[in-house]
Amino acid sequence: MGAASTRGHGTVPRTALVEAVARFPRVPLAMLPTPLVEAPRLSAALRGPTIWLKREDLAGLGLGGSKYRILEFTLGDAVAGGADVVIASGMAQSNHPQQVVSAACHLGIPAIVLLGGVEGRVGWTGNMLLEGLSGAEVHVLPSAGFDELRVAQEVLADRLRARGRRPALVTLTRDVHLRGVIAYVAYVAELAQQLEDHGLEVAALYVASGGPTYAGMALGAIATGAAFDVIGVSPLGRAADCTRHVTGLIEEAARLLELDLTLDPGRVHVTDAYLGPGHGITTPEAVAAIKLTAASEGVFLDPVYSGKAMAALIDHIGKGELQPTQAVVFAQTGGVPALFAYAKELMPEPCSAVET
């Protein structure tokens, strides 16, 4: 596990943290708190610690997902600024743009989606199908990566402003990333209350993120003096790059929230050991993790994000890094629609025919 952490001069009371977050514009989108449920059959299958699932996939709108927490703040900013259209961008099967579209529909704001091409993932399936069904204006830039998408959404926004529209960018900007951090600081306060209600002490919180979601969880845990480590399993970049990114986000978000914290190496952990060939490409370990979780608990992970995080948790248990007497929380961040775009990797063999 890589390291870079922040420790405060003292813990921040949970109520003070909630009050700090409440200063930012917000619209209600997610059904909160999301459930924290035990996964006894998965725990037994792994012969490891007691695993608890924090079900962000049950957040409410669409087919659920962790981005609705973030969108409460980013769309809150958009609504407060009088936006009459929102622009989202990401890779073809990214969860965030699809959840933007569902949230925008809920708020009555048109959405335009710019998607980079991921080979074999472009078409009306998975997240793209949900975007199309929701009436979004979807454009595919076949060779675009994240940097090209950032430029493209700025260009589109300028064109719309020239026509008298008031567009809001709700993905891939620094302000959006910081709102994501703030949203997941609030998540930690919510989780802390649930752990207290269950009488639980946990050793770690696992999440498929090396960006704003992770930074928010880490900042919240550090600010409140939580005893557990937050383990980020990168679905996108290398650990060193992610660590630099989240460190900057933590510092800046702490200032926005007016938290008295000092950066100090030690408690922020991001690993790229389970990334595989790269973003948008699943791994055999993630596929095995998805199948085990589905078969043991009836819970579906996705092949790009939470499947890789569960692969990390399984591997850490197998290596003895977590003990059977401990408890851990796994953030089920959602992404279920992407399963349908990865059917060939998940179930490569055809169904067997049965003669009648």
Q: Which residue has the tokens 């009436």?
A: 135
Q: Show Cβ contacts of residue 62 under 8 Å, excluding neighbours closer than 6 positions.
A: 98, 99, 102, 130
DSSP state for residue 341 in the 8-state scheme: G
Q: Widest CA span of the chain, in angstroms? A: 71
Chain centroid, CA 193 distance in Å: 21
- Write the DSSP string, 235-269: SSS-HHHHHHHHHHHHHHHHHHTT--EEE-TTSEE
Phi/psi at 300 (nearest 5 deg)?
A: -105, 120
- Write the DSSP string, 282-339: --HHHHHHHHHHHHHHS----TTTHHHHHHHHHHHHHTTSS-TT-EEEEEE---GGGG
Question: Is the preceding peptide bond at 265 cis, omega within 30 degrees of 0?
Answer: no
Q: Specify whether 296 is catalytic.
A: no
Q: How far apart are CA 221 and CA 217, in angstroms?
A: 6
Dihedral of alpha carbons 131, 170, 304, 328, sign = negative
- Residue among 5, 66, 89, 94 flagged as catalytic: 94
β pairing state of 50-55 and 327-332: parallel
Q: How far apart are CA 272 and CA 172, in angstroms?
A: 21
Q: Show Cβ contacts of residue 63 under 8 Å, excluding neighbours closer than 6 positions.
A: 57, 130, 334, 336, 337
Catalytic residues: 94
